[in-house]
Structure 1
């Protein structure tokens, strides 16, 4: 989910990681079991003068299936649930407004289950997860095509 964000003015960095679980400094091997409570996440650092939080939200929704509480596309398990983590009351309110717009759009038959949650401790993922789509472009592209993500996005957005 890094791709649409990475080359936009005002985006300073995107780091893959884990958040929301009970294990301190989790590893991928732990998180992938689905037993740690962690989400696989990206942390985006940006300049709000050049790129607003609302713009981040607008880019986020078309990258996910907000109705799937069991994972995302072919990735199954609690670690693949969708969520928006906020750091302030303003971000929380913006995220709630954004989510309500998605609900009111009636793009989806099922309920929108993406959580709007306070930001927990973020743990940076191992180096092999950072910029995975650049390090393994062929595998990333094949996986994305096979997952159904692109066809879902085209259909709903």
Structure 2
């Protein structure tokens, strides 16, 4: 898959966007979850997702070949989301997300809503770390880079989040 991503990036750097639809399909869900964990509104997340890919393509020459494209896109999306959130935080309502949530591949809408309700027990940083690590499968080092926080802080935030989730939701291993 890395070779495939490098092929896409090389083509984009050459201003060849024929493979963009496939690239988008392979990458958009992880980026979407990085955004939605901050703004909590499906329509806003969709707009910021488009902005993320536009910024990515406009600055494609700054992308280092061999880098993790998912982490790079997630960082762009996260930064755009934080900027949006800080500008419009009084207008963002999590209820809108629950009403407008679209189903994702492999996860039915009911399960996705349950996940989002559970994540509401966490504060912003905790939610973001859990989404990036558990849902998007980023390594803690990559999460630290995306969030621009020290690795130890990310690990502490994650452990605190898991403790909260265990207390609020409970855990059964059967």
Q: Which has the larger radius of gyration?
A: 2
| TM-score w.r.t. length of structure 2 | 0.28
Bigger helix share? 2
